[in-house]
Amino acid sequence: MGTSSTRLEHDPVMLCLSSGKGGVGKTSLAVNLAVALVELGQKVLIVDGDLGLANVDILLGIEVQTTIRDILDNDSDPLTAVVSWEPNLGVLPSSSGVPEMVNLGPEDQVLLEEVLRSIARHFDYVIMDTAAGIGPSVLWFNSFVEHNLVVLAPDPTSLTDAYALIKVLARDYKRQRFHLLLNLVTDEKESLQTYNGLAKVAAKFLNLQLHYLGSVPRDPAVHKAIHHQNPFVRQFPQSRAAKAVQELAKRLVDLGHAGTS
Amino acid sequence: MTETQVPLASTPCPAGLDDCPVQAENDHLQHECHRLLKQLQIDPLTNWYNVSYLFSALEQEMERSRRTGIATGLIMIDLDHFKQINDTFGHEAGNQVLGWVCRLWREKLRRIDIACRYGGEEFAVILPSTRLGHSIRTAERLRAIVESSPVPIGGQSIHITASFGVDVCSPLEQITANEFVQRADQFLLQAKSLGRNQVAHPARKPSREPTEISSAERAMLFVGRWPKME
């Protein structure tokens, strides 16, 4: 079940969605952003980097035929590991072995990066959905994308964990350009207030300028859509959350390759 | 030595002769090669690998670390006050002690661990793909077993102890096997200077760099600007 492609290969925009703290709606945002980007005419790949929970697999009810290990061992076509959810939306599920391989040695990581890049070339946007926390796989995914998107909710633990993630990535991996994406906010005021708090600390202690990508409000439509096993941008396209995600997708398209750290 | 010597299987004559003289000569040469190779690598007194094997095996394991990303552990060991044993009981008894202790330790090591005699009463054990914590625990186990196991020599029981220096070579380090041995040896010297019968090692590091947020950062994250919580 591979994603067929006739378009010319090119460099995709690679994004990584991480959060520090779990439970801030990161996977839901990754899937909905991907769908919103598809609706803007982009061809998108979601890489599920969370072996522990394998959320994307469950959310989309998919089963993997070819793993990354098969590709490395048997020279299989890398695209055969990608599950095509719809014509312009591919998923590289965690059961394909991507996050598992990240925890292996440096040699395997180099091979994995080569495979991921060869798959990615068939898409316009690649969204890496990482596990929560600052484990090795989270840091690895973040270390080679162009844009590091940090998802946080307006609560103290989420803020602290997001800051810890940014600090490690900036200090140990020399990442410089972070985009903050606030989820589960009451309104834009609360979102900006949270962003400003974090941005000031990052500027003072890490000498970093954090970028504000936008926010998604707390919306009952999100919860309802999960029960329908359908992304909320599809199930309830007129909901506040869907409109916010559509706006974020537009900003991502504007962002493109610009501002690579 | 890490494995018991198994006689090499004789290969059948390709021409199918039962009493082939060429095949017999071939088998003899193979056995001779095996015997000489063993002689080159094995210390006959302890049956542990010798010092030249130590360095080639260590180079190989350090290279493996660079590929797999998992550290190589090294334990340097020295029997405490061994000269006294030689002086009191004679060199033959001293040799028996060395053989006895090496058999005791070999049983406490994994099959993959490479046990070598470094010279005299000093030994080196390579722990392939082993991090610092486990390397220290292994050394501590070797220290405890020798301390609690009196050596039977000429109808007497001699209590002996040993000092241990432990270090690991991380996959990112570009050092030679010789430098690695020197480094672990420094910890052995430290163990001896601290009173012997102990394990010295580098400070254990947290599994990753500390990422704690300082109190100043924390204060600024929260002070006075936290929005209303739900």
Q: Which amino acid is at A141?
A: F
Divide the 230 residues of chain B into consecutive groups of 10 and give the mean pLDDT of each group.
52 81 87 86 95 95 84 96 93 94 96 95 95 94 97 89 96 91 97 96 68 81 55
Asked if the Cβ–Cβ distance from A201 to B220 is below 8 Å, we say yes
Query: Could you tell me the CA-to-CA distances from B110 to A160, A178, B2, B25, B42 in Å, in that order?
Result: 43, 47, 9, 37, 18
Spatial separation of the C-alpha atoms in residues A1 and A256, rounded to whole Å? 29
Which pLDDT score, from 0 to 100, does residue A43 have?
A: 96
Asked if the Cβ–Cβ distance from A197 to B69 is below 8 Å, we say no
Q: Which of A105, A154, A171 sits opposite B70 (nearest CB)?
A: A105
Spatial separation of the C-alpha atoms in residues B158 and B85, rounded to whole Å? 9
pLDDT in tens, B189-213: 999 999 999 999 998 765 544 567 8
Does B211 contact A at CB distance below 8 Å? yes
Query: What residue of B is the nearest CA neighbor of A189?
Result: B227
Which pLDDT score, from 0 to 100, does residue B112 have?
A: 93
Half-sphere exposure of B209 (CA within 13 A, CB side): 12
Q: Which of B67, B220, B229 sits opposite A204 (nearest CB)?
A: B220
Which pLDDT score, from 0 to 100, does residue B225 have?
A: 54
Shortest Cα distance from B131 to chain A (angstroms)?
Answer: 14
Show which of residues 47-106 on chain B sit within 8 Å of chain A, judged by CB atoms: 66-70
Query: Could you tell me the CA-to-CA distances from B128 to A105, B93, B135, B142, B184 in Å, in that order?
Result: 14, 33, 10, 17, 15
Does B131 contact A at CB distance below 8 Å? no
Q: Which of B66, B217, B222 sits opposite A205 (nearest CB)?
A: B217
**Structure tokens that stand for B182 in this block:** 């020197």
Residue B69: list chain A partners with CB under 8 A.
104-107
- State the burial class of residue A2 (Cβ atoms within 10 Å of its Cβ: 0-12, 13-18, 19+): middle
Asked if the Cβ–Cβ distance from A167 to B70 is below 8 Å, we say no
Phi-psi region for residue A169, left (φ > 0), alpha (ψ -120 to 50) or beta?
A: alpha
Divide the 261 residues of chain A into consecutive groups of 10 and give the mean pLDDT of each group.
45 91 87 96 90 60 72 78 88 74 71 86 93 83 90 90 92 90 94 93 94 95 84 94 97 77 41
What DSSP character marks residue B228?
P
Asked if the Cβ–Cβ distance from A196 to B211 is below 8 Å, we say no
Which pLDDT score, from 0 to 100, does residue A256 have?
A: 79
Residue B222: list chain A partners with CB under 8 A.
156, 197
Q: Which of B66, B70, B226 sits opposite A156 (nearest CB)?
A: B226
User: Does the interface predicted TM-score (ipTM) exceed 0.85?
Assistant: no
Asked if the Cβ–Cβ distance from A104 to B69 is below 8 Å, we say yes
CA quadruple A256, A259, A260, A261: dihedral, nearest 10: -160
Which pLDDT score, from 0 to 100, does residue A217 have?
A: 96
* CA B32 from centre of chain: 29
Q: Which of A201, A206, A215 to mutate to test the interface with B (most CBs of B within 10 A)?
A: A201
Q: What is the CA radius of gyration of chain A?
A: 17
**Which string of b and e fits A64-96 if b means at least 16 CB within 10 Å?**
bebbbbbbbeeebebbbbbbebeebbbbbbbbb
Does B157 contact A at CB distance below 8 Å? no
pLDDT in tens, B42-81: 999 999 999 999 999 999 999 988 877 789 999 999 999 9
Asked if the Cβ–Cβ distance from A154 to B225 is below 8 Å, we say no
**End-to-end C-alpha distance for chain A, whole angstroms:** 35
For the four alpha carbons of A76, A78, A82 and A87, in that order, the dihedral sign comes to negative
Which pLDDT score, from 0 to 100, does residue A57 have?
A: 65
CB A43 within 8 A of CB A9: no
Show which of residues 160-189 on chain B sit within 8 Å of chain A, judged by CB atoms: 171
Spatial separation of the C-alpha atoms in residues A40 and A9, rounded to whole Å? 19
Q: What is the CA radius of gyration of chain B?
A: 25
Which pLDDT score, from 0 to 100, does residue A7 have?
A: 42
β-strands A89-92, A125-130 pairing:
unpaired
Residue B230: list chain A partners with CB under 8 A.
186
CB B210 within 8 A of CB B153: no
Asked if the Cβ–Cβ distance from B226 to A107 is below 8 Å, we say no
- Is B107 in the active site? no
Tell me the H-state helices in B69-111.
82-89, 91-108
Long-range contacts made by residues A68-71, C-beta under 8 angstroms, separation at least 24? A68/A96, A68/A97, A68/A98, A68/A101, A68/A112, A68/A115, A69/A97, A69/A101, A71/A115
Which pLDDT score, from 0 to 100, does residue B8 have?
A: 62
Does B220 contact A at CB distance below 8 Å? yes
Which pLDDT score, from 0 to 100, does residue B223 have?
A: 62
Q: Which amino acid is at B174?
A: Q
Which pLDDT score, from 0 to 100, does residue B218 have?
A: 83
Spatial separation of the C-alpha atoms in residues B170 and B167, rounded to whole Å? 10
Which pLDDT score, from 0 to 100, does residue B7 have?
A: 55
Query: Choosing from B121, B173, B179, B209, which is the catalytic residue?
Result: B121
Does B159 contact A at CB distance below 8 Å? no
Strand residues in B69-204 grouped as ranges (E): 72-79, 114-119, 122-127, 151-153, 156-158, 162-169, 199-200
Residue B67: list chain A partners with CB under 8 A.
105-107
